[in-house]
Amino acid sequence: MSEIPVAVIIVNYRTADLVIDCLASIADQSGGNPPRTIVVDNASPTDDVERLELALADRRWLSWVELVPAHRNGGFAWGNNVGIERALTTGPKPRYVHLLNPDTIVRPGAIDELVQFLDANPSVGIAGSRLENPDETVQRSAFRWPTPLGEFESAARNKLISLALSSRVVAPPVRNDPHACDWVAGASLMVRREVFEQIGPLDDRYFMYYEEVEFCRRAHAAGWSCWYVPSSRVVHLVGQASGIVHGQPKRRPAYWFDSRRRYFITQFGRTGAVLADLAWLAGDPIYHARRALGRRTSEDPKRFLRDIVQRGAISKGLVT
């Protein structure tokens, strides 16, 4: 069977307008020869499927975009797995699978940059893009593994503590050069086909969030490295698809805490997961004391500390 360079997977759930804008940016990739793209609709309770079908026909995208209506909303990882399985089992096999959020706009050449990087570096299993705001300011998208000490640093938000725990900072300062990292943001993440063949798909027990962290961990354990490739530039409209925006007061949904708890229990055991919660609870007063002195508004979501206790490993076991 013939091979194609890449297949793009986009999961939609009530974000049809965002998906159409994303597809319009993909249409201009590779000199107007866009890659095979699979849009999985996670049983949107609106008219998204009909609107997407109409857009694909009106814009003459049916030659390269396939719409797959799923029978249920199994979550972001589950929806991606539906698309991944279809990409790998129907039609020409792709060398790479590009997982792309619906709330993204692909800059010119962004997909080709990831393909060319992976072609030139056969030991790299996963490559992620430079994520940007619409004004071209950069977002942090190359990360270290979350750890209990990293949770303390993230909660404290204190320069001295961050300096002392520099090796545990989950979101280090952005670099402008390609480099290896522990994991990259799932908003634009390209995976070598052999990685899926070796370690399997995403863990769909993560409804949303932390699924890319866990996947990159399994890939690392299997000997595949993960790289950040800043020449691949993708606009990420943060929170437009998920509704979660860091620094805004909206309360975090239960599935975010479920995913966080699952990750820490899986990687560090129940004791380590409890330590991660306690580390956040210890670091948070440091941040709020400094915030109160500066009379600044809190960046935390509503009821965040209470939810850490009630929905974290302190109060709950592993979600099955």
CB 27 within 8 A of CB 55: no
Element (H, E) at 226: strand 225-236
Element (H, E) at 3: strand 3-12
Q: At what angle do helices 254-294 and 211-221 cross, to 10 degrees?
A: 110
Dig out the tokens for 113 from the structure.
């940059």
Positive or negative: CA dihedral 11, 56, 109, 194: positive
Residue-wise pLDDT tens digits, 164-207: 999 999 999 999 999 999 999 999 999 999 999 999 999 999 99
Return the DSSP state at 167.
G
Element (H, E) at 93: strand 93-100
CA distance 128 to 187: 8
- What is the homologous superfamily of the domain 3-139+174-236 according to CATH? Spore Coat Polysaccharide Biosynthesis Protein SpsA; Chain A (3.90.550.10)
Domain residues of the chain, as ranges?
3-139+174-236, 149-167+244-320
Buried b (16+ CB within 10 A) or exposed e, 25-47: bbbebbeeebbbbbbbbbebeee
Residue 252: strand, helix, or coil: coil
- The model carries a pTM of 0.92
As averages over each run of 10 residues, the pLDDT of the chain (320 residues) reads 92 97 93 94 96 97 97 96 97 97 97 98 98 96 97 96 96 97 98 98 96 98 98 88 57 94 96 96 93 81 91 69
pLDDT score at 266: 95
The CB density around residue 109, as the number of other CB atoms within 10 Å, is 16
